[in-house]
Amino acid sequence: MLERMWAPRGVAVVGTSQDPAKLGYGVARNLVVSGYRGAIHFVNPRGGRLFDRPVYPDLASVPDPVDLAMIIIPAAGVPKALEACGRRGIRAVVIGSGGFRETGEAGRQLEEQVLQVARKHRIRVLGPNCIGFLDTHLPIDTTFLPLPGPIPGDIAFLSHSGAICEAVIDWARGQGFGLSRLVSLGNQMDLTEGEILPATAADPNTRVVAMYLEGVRNGRLFVENARKVTRKKPVLAIKVGRSESGRAAVASHTGALAGRDAAYDAAFRKAGVIRAESTEEVFDWARALAWCPLPRGRRIAVLTNAGGPGAIAVDALDSGGLKLAELSEATKARLREFLPEAASVRNPVDMLAAAGAAEYANGLGALMADDGVDGVMVVLAPPPMTTAAGIAGAVIPMIRSATKPVIVTLMGEEMIANAARLFRQARVPDYRFPERAASALRVLADRGEQLATPAEAIELLKGLHPGSARRALARGARGEAGFLDPLAAAQVARAYGIPVPEEVLATSAAQAAAAARKLGFPVALKIASPDIPHKSDVGGVVLGVMDEAGVRQAYERILSQAQAAAPAARLDGVSVQPMLPPGQEVIVGVVRDEQFGPLVMFGSGGVEVEGLKDVAFALAPLTRRETEALLDATWAGRRLKGFRNIPAADRKAAIDVVMRLGQLAEDLPQIAEIEVNPLRVLPGTGGAVAVDVRLKLVD
């Protein structure tokens, strides 16, 4: 059915207007001017003619074929118009009208009414509150945006903002690159970005998909579809609304640190979507990905006519995780053949200000022939003895036939304008400063590594017992904040193969002393309460108790301090655990994101976790490679490999716990948050032990 949306045999514009100031006029005009070769029908009860075509009084009067309707009338009339589409057999509709959910409760109710009509007639709807879509290759333009539209190209753009669409079209023309398809998503009443993304990526004229997102309607569907798309075509996104202001308070460290933006970062990583920080960055990268071959590695050579820009380029490459290529002696000798003695033949290659077309062409040829070079940044400041356009003409044929990426830093404005036009006409990406060029090269290298890494399936972990975990959840006592009692939380973790030390719940000092005798000294005592998630904050933890007298004293002190700090909390007693061998302490947690599901956290553990904020997030369930990357994103995870006088700990055991915790949250949707803090990772191959487990249930 979506094929009829993007490639209809005929289009009906419902709400056509004779008034050039009306949106209905703009839609009709753009459809005609676009060169669309299908049938175009205009609908307005007043009738008449527009653009030498009849205006029909209603949809029933419109002749075949009609696969797509563009509705651009006041919001109150949309349900009736959609009913008419259903009776006419039209199954693809774009609703450009505003006045729905974006305006408040009354608009939300009207949108729900429209959705019910669409579902009744099995109509797929783009919008409402959108500007439509266009395809420069079909061609078709259902928008009401001012002319001229975009030039044909190979970058598709999906956007939640219609105003951004208009600005991007104008900016793209000025920057000399074209669009293949543009889709305004609007309110996404029916069709969401998760469905539109694969349909857009399937377009043979699209090489790169860029997205402006204000949110995601169905996070799981988006990630699932985007993972498939990004194995074939690159997807870039800018997600706005990064602020955490107004976020509801949560009780666990994981919940406190897992902001919505962390969830989007994790979702994009899992899906293979490349996230940009700005709209300009999106299209900087999109041009490079659309027009350049991918590098084999990260070794970059810089060819320049000025030392200062070359130094800037080196710093920018280094900060982007790229390497300055080590040129071979043969390459240096070849460069010396045509460069003046004062020129530098080391990377960056500074040919000096007098370098002209011949020097740039020969220099680029030498660098591209070096097996130790994976890509080249050509830096061209306005040359004093020739023209930038002349140099562009000399190197463009070489760049177009190259198997390695070449990115051009064309510095200046008026003096390089003609050169910029030549590069853009030849589909060679040019940037005004080295930092932007280095950023584009970095994304090319990232994309090359992404495609070179084979897809990895979720590992089937052994020793998982979901039934036992569910029974422990059902039996456990639940505190006012939704936290499960500590003993039940530990049982849930054990059911998924997560090592938790033996512990005994004591309800008197005598029971605590007896438990300590059984477990063996030294022991740790902790308050047992579903209402106190952070035990240390209330003086509820005493470590390293060596004898029975100390246990009795610790028991009484813990209870009195907990009662004083949290008088309303339910106190079940004190749990007694054997002291564990020393090791590195980390935190592992999962919080359920409303859009994307379980979000796994790993980082530095203990009482300073929120202060250090050495944490990283990933979406569950995790593959082993994703878990490795999660640990490597934190100092705590890298430190497990050993650092200076810190011995290496059992990183494999930590990885196993992280994967099991993620699978636990994936399997049991009734868990809102679960946290192990600390997870003590023992030296060598000693394993990892969950010292404290906290589990919160969904309200």
Res 66 pLDDT > 60: yes
d(CA 105, CA 111): 10
The pLDDT, as a whole number, for residue 248 is 41
CA dihedral for 477, 483, 486, 487, sign (positive or negative): positive
Q: Kindly report whether the peptide bond that precedes residue 621 is cis, defined as omega within 30 degrees of 0.
A: yes
d(CA 571, CA 562): 8
Please spell the DSSP secondary structure of 518-533, one letter per residue.
Answer: HH-SSEEEEEE-TT-S
The CATH class of the 502-579 domain is alpha beta
| Fold (CATH) for 293-452 | Rossmann fold (3.40.50)
Average pLDDT of span 424-450: 97
The pLDDT, as a whole number, for residue 324 is 97
Between β-strands 92-95 and 68-71, what pairing exists: parallel, antiparallel or unpaired?
Answer: parallel
Residues with Cβ within 8 Å of residue 453, at least 6 apart in sequence: 625
Task: Tell me if 1-129 shares its fold with 293-452.
Answer: yes
d(CA 174, CA 181): 18
The CATH class of the 584-697 domain is alpha beta
d(CA 341, CA 200): 53
Sketch the domain layout of the chain as residue ranges. 1-129, 150-243+250-291, 293-452, 502-579, 584-697
d(CA 696, CA 450): 36
Res 247 pLDDT > 50: no
| CB atoms near residue 381 (< 10 Å) | 19
273-296 pLDDT, tens digit per residue, is: 999 999 999 999 999 999 999 999
- H or E stretch at 223: helix 219-230
Decide if domain 150-243+250-291 falls under CATH 3.40.50.261.
yes
The pLDDT, as a whole number, for residue 605 is 83
CA dihedral for 142, 143, 149, 154, sign (positive or negative): negative
- H or E stretch at 208: strand 208-213
DSSP letter for 646, please: B
375-418 pLDDT, tens digit per residue, is: 999 999 999 989 999 999 999 999 999 999 999 999 999 999 99
Res 245 pLDDT > 80: no
- H or E stretch at 119: helix 105-120
d(CA 300, CA 321): 11
Are 114 and 189 a contacting pair, CB within 8 Å? yes
Tokens of 422: 């030549």
Q: Whole-number mean pLDDT of the chain? A: 94
Which segments of 461-616 does DSSP mark as H helices, in order?
466-475, 486-495, 509-519, 548-565, 609-612
| CB atoms near residue 359 (< 10 Å) | 24
Residues with Cβ within 8 Å of residue 267, at least 6 apart in sequence: 216, 219, 222, 223, 273, 595, 596, 619
Res 257 pLDDT > 70: no
Of the two residues 138 and 613, the one the predictor is more confident about is: 138
DSSP letter for 383, please: P
83-127 pLDDT, tens digit per residue, is: 999 999 999 999 999 999 999 999 999 999 999 999 999 999 999
The pLDDT, as a whole number, for residue 244 is 54
| CB atoms near residue 267 (< 10 Å) | 27
**Tokens 């036009």 — which residue?**
421
Of the two residues 577 and 243, the one the predictor is more confident about is: 577
Average pLDDT of span 641-645: 90
| CB atoms near residue 611 (< 10 Å) | 9
CA dihedral for 286, 290, 293, 296, sign (positive or negative): positive
The pLDDT, as a whole number, for residue 101 is 92
Average pLDDT of span 683-694: 94
d(CA 495, CA 469): 5
| CB atoms near residue 65 (< 10 Å) | 14
29-39 pLDDT, tens digit per residue, is: 999 999 999 99
The pLDDT, as a whole number, for residue 535 is 86
Average pLDDT of span 583-594: 94
SS3 205: coil
**What letter represents residue 61's amino acid?**
S
Measuring CA to CA, which residue among 528, 529, 667, 679 is closest to residue 602? 679
Name the pLDDT band for 530 (thresholds 50, 70, 90): confident
Are 239 and 259 a contacting pair, CB within 8 Å? no
d(CA 139, CA 34): 6
Residues with Cβ within 8 Å of residue 618, at least 6 apart in sequence: 266, 269, 270, 599, 600, 602, 626, 627, 629, 630, 662
The pLDDT, as a whole number, for residue 252 is 45
| CB atoms near residue 361 (< 10 Å) | 18
CA dihedral for 166, 172, 173, 179, sign (positive or negative): negative
d(CA 28, CA 51): 8
Tokens of 370: 């070096």
Res 242 pLDDT > 80: no
Of the two residues 391 and 249, the one the predictor is more confident about is: 391
d(CA 377, CA 89): 55
Res 249 pLDDT > 70: no
454-490 pLDDT, tens digit per residue, is: 989 888 999 999 999 999 999 988 887 888 988 899 9
Tokens of 594: 């409303």
d(CA 44, CA 488): 67
First vs last Cα of the chain: how many Å apart? 39
Cα 119 to Cα 113, 150, 170, 413, distances in angstroms = 10, 34, 36, 54
Sheet of strand 179-184, all strands in order from the earlier edge strand to the far edge: 140-141, 133-135, 179-184, 152-159, 208-213, 235-239, 274-275
| Fold (CATH) for 1-129 | Rossmann fold (3.40.50)
